[in-house]
Amino acid sequence: MIRRERLTEQFCRLVSIDAPSYGERQMGDYLRKKLESLGFTVEEDRAGDCYGGNCGNLYAHRKGKGNPLLLSMHMDTVEPSGGKRAIVHPDGRITSDGTTVLGADDMSGAAAVLEALQHLKEETLPTRELEILFSIGEEKHVKGAKVFDFSKIRAKDSIVLDMSGEIGTAAIQAPSQIAFTVTIHGRASHAGFAPQDGVHAILIASNAVARMPMGRVGEDTTVNIGRIQGGLASNIVPETCTVLGELRSFSHEKALAQLSKIKEIFEKEASVLGGSVVFAEDICYCAYRTAKDARSVREFREACLKTGVEPVFRSTFGGSDQNKLSEHGITGIVMASAMHQVHSCQEYTSVDELEKTAEIVSEILQMTE
């Protein structure tokens, strides 16, 4: 059976390891040892080198019966994360001390998987062929998975443990996300003596942003400008201005079309005032939708019902490593894995939810037919 005390201790140990994005070395070393002790062969790639990090993605494989399954989680944690300490309250709720995030995102999933594997090993129960991907830099728009060599993967089905919400919830649809940076170039001049000689980069940016669609654009697309920075002093017509934004859509084609419109607006406003723009985009990940009759969906539903949980399938407007898995032909879901109020110092989990997550995972791992 799943051992609650051991599971809780495992979770607390995991969150105590500092693992900021691109600084996952200690976490990678710890997880490698745990996986090897459970019979996995483990490889580490050089993903960290791509981003100035100190650790690569971990890929683990263990032979078994039946259809192979890929489990995916990420090692990194959002800030503030240094010196995290889990506090287990009398009612089973687990929080940080309030000065950092807890790190349940994504260590609740990792703890549940490790406990399920340990339980199955102790009971000598047969398991299916398993692959596990622990990625780096997921919180930086799935950067680790972006450079992973997916030719290693045997599985065609996946379960990503990386979502908040009630246990039994799973996402089967997620959007494309495109980040963009616009650098506007004008011409500096003295704002008092010769403002007419300048080309006001911030004004160009302001005019463009005022013309842009913002917020929810239609039913399935959003656009946001998150940061504008420019100028040197109040008496100088600003020569440069930088605008950072993003857009998301359940339709990748709509996302690309919206991006094209935004680029056109900035270029038009720059030309009107005699400036220029450099437009750079980063397609962080592409939209996917997993069919309700897909194997991963069916197996998750069955595991939930066996453990007394009602399965619920929905869409999410957040991305995960599943976006990248889907791009490479690996069909899957993102399951709620005992994390709440993530990306805040109010993040929490509970022993009951950790246990239930481990039970669901255990059932899925035993599906050898």
The residues assigned a catalytic role are 76, 138
Distance CA 112, CA 162 (A): 12
DSSP category for residue 227: E
Q: Cα–Cα–Cα angle for 291, 217, 286, nearest 5°?
A: 40
Cα separation, 96 vs 104, whole angstroms: 10
Q: Which of 224, 223, 229 is nearest to 201 (CA)?
A: 229
Sheet of 93-95: strand order equals 87-88, 93-95, 348-350
**H helical segments located in the chain:** 4-15, 25-37, 47-51, 104-122, 143-146, 201-211, 252-273, 295-306, 321-327, 351-365
Q: CB count, 10 Å around CB of 271?
A: 12
- The dihedral built from the CA positions of residue 243, 48, 80 and 15, taken in this order, carries a sign that is positive
Radius of gyration of the chain (CA): 23
DSSP string, 30-90: HHHHHHHHTT-EEEE-SHHHHHT-S---EEEEE--EEEEEEEEEE--BPSS-TT---EE-T
Contact 185, 277 (CB under 8 A): yes
Q: What angle do CA 127, 132, 138 make, to 5 degrees?
A: 150
Per DSSP, the three-state class of 220 is coil
Q: What is the DSSP-derived secondary structure letter of residue 330?
A: -
> Apex CA 358: angle with CA 129 and CA 130, to 5°?
10
Cβ 317 vs Cβ 175: under 8 Å:
yes
